[in-house]
Structure 1
Amino acid sequence: MTRKLLILFFFLGSFFLHSQNLVWKTDMNDAIIASDAQKRPLLIFFTASGISQKIPNEVFATPDFAVWSRDNVILVKLDLADTNMSETAKDQNVKLKNALGIDELPQVCLLLASVKKGKTTFNNLGVVPFKQGGAKVWISDANLILNP
């Protein structure tokens, strides 16, 4: 009986560890380079301090999201209230937020980025709103945007 419990805890623990190993880029230039090289869209999480944590807690912290994101997108977290960020980076992030029509935080946007002849172009795929139902519902909505 003890052995079965240990095996169960081992497998559950490994699933939870996978959900915590997400690699979020915080620099748009690095994210664009990775997106262009890997031919995967950007998932940009616009956030700030003191706002709802439903998306991070109910979607991003799940094993389902960890597996899906690893296979489908480049993760980018842009904290618009980050005090350690340079003014240039902060201005760039705010301009991107405004250009994508993001008017409330937190918000998740999917977009394609490509670099040709030193010029970056964006193709806004859409916004993935938070809905009750957890990660599976959210991933389903994101997949509808990525694969219309």
Structure 2
Amino acid sequence: MTQKLLILLLFLGSFFLHSQNLVWKTDMNDAIVASDTQKRPLLIFFTATGISTRIQSEIFATPDFAVWSRDNVILVKLDLSDAAASDVVKEQNVKLKNALGIDELPQVCLLLASVRKGKTTFNNMGLIPYRQGGAKVWIADANSILNP
């Protein structure tokens, strides 16, 4: 019995550790290159200090999201209140937020980015609002945008 419990704990622990090891890019230029190279859309999470963290704890911190995101998107987290960011980066992030029509935070946007002849083009696929129901419901919403 003890051995089965230990195996179960190790198995579940590996999922939780994996979900905590998400790699969120914070530089749009790096994210665009990764998206173009890997032919995967960007999942841009717009946030700021003092904003609700429900989406992070209920969706992004789950093993389901970790597996799904690894296979489907390039994760980008743009903290619009990041004091460590340069003025140029802050301005770039605010311009992107406004161009995508994001009016409240936190918000998630799916976006295709490609670079051709040194010019970056974006294709806004859609916004994914937070709604109750957990990661599986949220992932289903995201999949409906990625695969219409």
Q: What TM bracket, shorter-length normalisation?
A: over 0.9
Once the two structures are TM-superposed, the CA of residue 85 in structure 1 deviates from its matched residue by 0.2
- When normalised by structure 1's length, the TM-score is 0.99
Deviations 1:14-71 (A, max 9, x none): 0101101100000000000000000000000000000100110000000000000000
Among the aligned pairs, what percent are the same residue? Answer: 82
Q: How far apart, CA to CA, are the structure 2 residues paired with 1:8 and 1:76?
A: 32
Q: How far apart, CA to CA, are the structure 2 residues paired with 1:97 and 1:51?
A: 16
Q: Secondary structure at the match of 1:93?
A: helix
Q: How far apart, CA to CA, are the structure 2 residues paired with 1:51 and 1:102?
A: 14
Q: How far apart, CA to CA, are the structure 1 residues paired with 2:78 and 2:114?
A: 19
Q: Which runs of 5+ in 1 are unaligned?
A: none
RMSD: 0.4
2:6 maps to 1:27:
no
Match of 1:105 in 2: 105
Alignment of 1:1-148 (within 5 A): 1-148=1-148
Once the two structures are TM-superposed, the CA of residue 120 in structure 1 deviates from its matched residue by 0.1
Q: Secondary structure at the match of 2:111?
A: strand
The number of equivalent residue pairs is 148
Once the two structures are TM-superposed, the CA of residue 78 in structure 1 deviates from its matched residue by 0.1
- When normalised by structure 2's length, the TM-score is 0.99
The list of structure 1 runs, each at least 4 consecutive aligned residues, that deviate by more than 6 angstroms after superposition, is none
Amino acid at match of 2:91: D
Deviations 1:79-127 (A, max 9, x none): 0000000000000000000000000000000000000000000000000
Once the two structures are TM-superposed, the CA of residue 10 in structure 1 deviates from its matched residue by 0.3
